[in-house]
Amino acid sequence: MANVLSIIVQRLLLGLLTLLVVSIVIFLAVNALPGDFAEAILGQGATPESIATIRRDLGLDQPMVVRYFDWLSKMLRGDLGVSFAQLNFRTNLGGAGDVGVAEQIAPRLANTMFLAATTAIIAVPIAVTLGVLAALYRNTIFDRAANVATLSSISSPEFFMAYLMTLFLAFIFPIFPSLSNISADLTFFERLEKTMLPAITLTLVVTAHMMRMTRAAIINLLASPYIEMARLKGMSPMRVIVKHALPNALAPIINVIALNLAYLITGVVVVEVVFVYPGIGNLFVDAVKNRDIPIVQACCLIFAAAYILLNLTADILSILSNPRLRHPK
């Protein structure tokens, strides 16, 4: 076990290092965006003096290196800064209290996590089960049908799938509401009901990838001597696949699941927009439009952290799924 622990610690440190590198990339990328907040907010009536004043107030006149370390050190202390937009309101309207980036992002992130979790709970079992069944009944009508269905759903644009779902599940058969305008005062089940349409749409988007990997990883192993052995012991085809092939195919399956979960957290802007779901993706897009740099940076960093954390988890789970590492000689 000491072996596994040291590998995990190593991966964690590597993850942190990656996050640090990503923070530099994010900072540089955001700085490379054309235009700046001062120009955007002052619009037509901007004079060079007023622009300079706002820039000075916001610290935008400092050299890039200074701004980066300022941002990083605040970030490390858990201070995500104050949204430019909120700052603007306060100065103009006489200080309605500081609304920090953290306070703005937190509820949105929670919504996104809720959607991602709901989708994952639906999609992962479906994908893995379909993959196992497709491997079991490989090259039959069932296998082909499963492949065609999942591939067509992944090949259609997300917004198209979203409208299709709305059409069928909200209008023709009004089962779920077409708008996901959730708020904090909803009960869990109301919230779940309003989340269903985007969750189903996303399920259709992510299932194919996971299912095909499950199928491929299992079929890859079917030529192994130990699978032949299981068959020669008179074990049923289902048992051969589930007991003998699946445990050895876990590593690639876990990895592709992690990749899809990361996508659910970071890449669902389109679906959020269609269903007016108040997730972090919507917030992010608005912030980019307004040149609201603190929010853009914080969102990017959260996305990066989600990617790194999920892949790290997948790595560790793959390691744990290997008995050679779990039980050294």
Partner 1 sequence: MSTLLKIRDIRLEGRSDEQWNPIINGVDLTLQKGEVLGLIGESGAGKSTLGLAAMGFTRDGVRISSGTVEFDGIDLVKASAAVKRGLLGKRIAYVAQSAAASFNPAHRIIDQQVEGPVQHGTMKRPEAEETGMELYRKLRLPDPDNIGFRYPHQVSGGQLQRAMTAMAMSCRPDLIIFDEPTTALDVTTQIEVLASIREIVDEYDTAAIYITHDLAVVAQMADQIKVLLKGDEVETADTRTMLAAPTQEYTKSLWAVRSFERPAKPSVIGGAVPVVSVRNVDASYGTVPVLHDVSFDIHEGRTVAVVGESGSGKSTTARCITGLLPPKAGEIAFDGQVLPADYRKRDKGQLRQAQMIYQMADTALNPRMSIGNIIARPVQFYTGLTGKELRARVDSLLDQIELEPSQYFNRLPSELSGGQKQRIGIARALAAEPKFIICDEVTSALDQLVAEGILRLLAKLQDELKLSYMFITHDLATVRAISDEVVVMKDGRVVEQGEKQAMFTPPHHAYTDLLLSSVPEMDPDWLTNLLQERGVDNIGDAAVDKM
Provide the binding-site residues for partner 1, judged by CB under 8 A.
223-226, 228-236, 239, 243-244, 247-248, 323-324, 327, 329
Which of 50/236 has CB closer to partner 1?
236
Which of 31/248 has CB closer to partner 1?
248
Q: Is 109 within 8 Å of 280 (Cβ atoms)?
A: yes
DSSP string, 222-238: TTSHHHHHHHHTT--HH
CB 201, min distance to partner 1, A: 36
Alpha carbon separation from 152 to 142, 145, 148, 204 (Å, rounded): 15, 11, 6, 9
Q: How far apart are CA 110 and CA 279, in angstroms?
A: 8
Q: Is 161 within 8 Å of 204 (Cβ atoms)?
A: yes
Q: Is 4 within 8 Å of 326 (Cβ atoms)?
A: yes
CB 5, min distance to partner 1, A: 19
Q: How far apart are CA 265 and CA 200, in angstroms?
A: 15
Q: How far apart are CA 201 and CA 165, in angstroms?
A: 7
Which of 157/323 has CB closer to partner 1?
323
DSSP string, 194-261: HHHHHHHHHHHHHHHHHHHHHHHHHHHHTTSHHHHHHHHTT--HHHIIIIIIHHHHHHHHHHHHHHHH
Which of 142/163 has CB closer to partner 1?
142
CB 188, min distance to partner 1, A: 38
CB 225, min distance to partner 1, A: 4
Cα 226 versus chain centre, distance: 37
CB 173, min distance to partner 1, A: 42
Q: How far apart are CA 119 and CA 195, in angstroms?
A: 9
CB 266, min distance to partner 1, A: 33
Which of 77/324 has CB closer to partner 1?
324
CB 254, min distance to partner 1, A: 14
